[in-house]
């Protein structure tokens, strides 16, 4: 009897995941456009980084070969596209419209509901975007990217990165409770994450001092950590423990921070229009 009661909240959140997944299937054109954008981005970075390596006159730049760099940057773009779910705007819309007040009277946790809602879309979008891009990259570099146990670690690490990114988005969305607007803050967050996570340029290409600082921040755990595991043929036990420990640490910190910030911020909620 007790086990049934414990399962009910979990099943409620799964219902949100299912509804979100079905909604994504309804708008298949959006997924195809996202995939098209990822493939075009891959073609662009292919020529860009090929030119960079040709001008460098060496096969290895900052410890990375051209195939490794292309795989890193192209897959980073595809994963970023998969994680783009506009959570910040959804939360902002709930706050500005007053819909968020309805969630306060429901036996649901707003943070957990949004997490389940987002993860189902991201997982589906991940396979739509990342798998074709990975195959394209393998073809472009002559199947030089390792395909083994490293892919399993990569997928697991991406999942942890999704939770970290979700927490950051949730906190940015919560700021709307104080400002009633999140456009500028969200743009700033997107730029910071893109640069400090290694999406735009691999962290290996940054100066050593700056890279060491970036490794202590949560942003690199979103993209750099899983991408590093992907391009490493046989990740050592030490690398795996360090990588996953850092991600789990930031998940714990950010989940607590996001839920606490929302709890405190909800006390100052203002519903426009009465």
Alpha helices, H only, 175-207: 176-179, 183-196
Could you tell me if 112 and 13 are in contact, meaning their C-beta atoms sit under 8 angstroms apart? Answer: yes
Question: In the predicted model, what is the mean pLDDT of residues 224-240?
Answer: 90
At residue 255, the pLDDT reads: 96
pLDDT tens by residue, 85-137: 888 888 888 877 777 877 777 778 889 888 998 888 888 888 888 999 999 99
pLDDT tens by residue, 19-63: 887 877 777 777 788 888 889 999 999 989 999 988 888 888 888
Could you tell me if 219 and 135 are in contact, meaning their C-beta atoms sit under 8 angstroms apart? Answer: no
244 — pLDDT class (breaks 50, 70, 90): very high
Percent of the chain with pLDDT over 90: 29
> What is this structure's pTM?
0.88
At residue 272, the pLDDT reads: 56
Separation of alpha carbons 139 and 214, rounded Å: 32
Nearest Cα residue to 120 out of 257, 266, 21? 21
Separation of alpha carbons 124 and 82, rounded Å: 8
Higher per-residue pLDDT: 219 or 179? 219
Pairing of strands 60-61, 64-65: antiparallel
Higher per-residue pLDDT: 193 or 26? 193
Letter string b/e over residues 192-223, b meaning 16 or more CB atoms within 10 A of that residue's CB:
ebbebbbbbebbbebeeeebeebeeebbbbbb
144 — pLDDT class (breaks 50, 70, 90): confident
Q: Which residues pair with 64 in a beta bridge?
A: 61
Helix (H, G, I), strand (E, B) or coil at 61: strand
């Amino acid at each position: 009897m007790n086990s049934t009661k414990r399962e009910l909240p979990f099943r409620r959140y799964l219902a949100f995941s299912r509804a979100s997944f079905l909604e994504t299937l309804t708008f298949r054109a959006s997924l195809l456009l996202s995939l098209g954008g990822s493939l075009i981005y891959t073609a662009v970075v292919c020529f860009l980084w090929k030119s960079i390596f040709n001008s460098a006159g060496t096969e290895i730049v900052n410890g990375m070969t051209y195939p490794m760099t292309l795989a890193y940057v192209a897959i980073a773009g595809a994963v970023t596209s998969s994680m783009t779910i506009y959570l910040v705007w959804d939360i902002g819309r709930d706050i500005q419209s007053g819909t968020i007040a309805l969630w306060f009277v429901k036996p649901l946790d707003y943070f957990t509901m949004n997490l389940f809602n987002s993860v189902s879309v991201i997982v589906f979008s991940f396979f739509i975007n990342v798998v074709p891009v990975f195959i394209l990259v393998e073809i472009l570099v002559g199947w030089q990217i390792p395909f083994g146990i490293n892919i399993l670690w990569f997928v697991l690490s991406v999942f942890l990165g999704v939770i970290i990114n979700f927490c950051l988005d949730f906190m940015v969305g919560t700021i709307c409770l104080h400002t009633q607007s999140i456009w500028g803050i969200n743009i700033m967050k997107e730029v910071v994450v893109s640069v400090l996570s290694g999406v735009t340029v691999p962290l290996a290409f940054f100066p050593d001092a700056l890279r060491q600082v970036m490794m202590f921040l949560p942003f690199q755990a979103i993209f750099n950590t899983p991408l590093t595991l992907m391009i490493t043929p046989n990740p050592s036990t030490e690398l795996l423990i360090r990588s996953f420990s850092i991600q789990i640490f930031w998940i714990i910190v950010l989940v607590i921070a996001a839920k606490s910030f929302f709890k405190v911020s909800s006390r100052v909620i203002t519903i426009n229009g009465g």
